[in-house]
Amino acid sequence: EGGLRDAESMLDQLVAFCGDPISEADVLKVFGFTSQQTVANFTDKILRSATAEAVQLLHEQCEAGKDMMRLMADLISYLRDLLVFKVKPDALSEDVDLDSQESLAAQAGLIETDRLLELIDQFAEAEGRMKWAPNKKLHFEVALIKAIQSLSEVTLNEVIENLNALRDGKDVTTKKAVAGIGDAGREELRPGKTGVADPREDFC
């Protein structure tokens, strides 16, 4: 019953401010919500490490009077949908519209599951800090930049995987992977060099 009363109250506000008929744009404007497409675009900029563009979009939403707490909640919810989509694509077929499913499908290959979990944790922590902060935009900006920077950091698992690949004589092609190993590691573990002394050297 409480939810129904809230919905009726929101409808009354919309009628008072916008008259009849009421469009989606009216709802977004009156209550400071951000459209689903904007949230998808925001996520895309984060996953592609487009820091300047992501911050610019955040500023635009703030200047347009959007609710920063609501935007953070929508971002976390969208990342959750992306996580579920990566694990089981058909799980959201009844809950998410076709346009959103297409966006999720395009973004699923941009990030690994463990990285996505880290992003969700980071933004969830930021949401907790924002709740009591007078300057919510500031905390959102800091969390956004930190989250994007974390995507370029090398994890311990990635270092181990690349060390094993080098031991097996395979090439490590990604810049991030090479950076995680370092020059000394690449020299020590380059293909053909096992780190075990050649017994023939004793006779030289």
Is residue 201 included in any domain, yes or no?
no
Same domain, 103 and 162: no
Is residue 25 included in any domain, yes or no?
yes
Averaged over 65-86, what is the pLDDT?
94
Which pLDDT belongs to residue 166?
79
Averaged over 135-142, what is the pLDDT?
96
d(CA 189, CA 185): 6
- How many structural domains comprise the chain? 2
What radius of gyration, in Å, describes the C-alpha atoms of the chain? Answer: 24
Is residue 203 included in any domain, yes or no?
no
C-beta of residue 138 within 8 angstroms of C-beta of residue 97: no
pLDDT band with cut points at 50, 70 and 90 for residue 120? very high
* Position 143 pLDDT exceeds 50: yes
Same domain, 86 and 48: yes
Same domain, 169 and 146: no
Is residue 170 included in any domain, yes or no?
yes
Same domain, 187 and 112: no
pLDDT band with cut points at 50, 70 and 90 for residue 39? very high
Averaged over 45-68, what is the pLDDT?
94
Residue 149: C-alpha distances to residues 44, 56, 120, 145, 172 (Å): 15, 16, 14, 6, 22
Same domain, 108 and 40: yes
**Structure tokens of 14?**
């919309």
Is residue 159 classed exposed, middle or buried when 0-12, 13-18 and 19+ CB atoms within 10 A define those classes? Answer: middle
* Position 204 pLDDT exceeds 70: no
Averaged over 150-158, what is the pLDDT?
76
Same domain, 65 and 125: yes
Write the CATH number for 146. 1.20.272.10
* Position 185 pLDDT exceeds 60: no
Same domain, 138 and 167: no
Which pLDDT belongs to residue 172?
62
Same domain, 76 and 119: yes
199 vs 141 pLDDT, higher one: 141
State which residues form the domain around 175: 156-195
192's CB contacts (< 8 A; 6+ apart) are 169
C-beta of residue 82 within 8 angstroms of C-beta of residue 108: yes
Is residue 185 included in any domain, yes or no?
yes
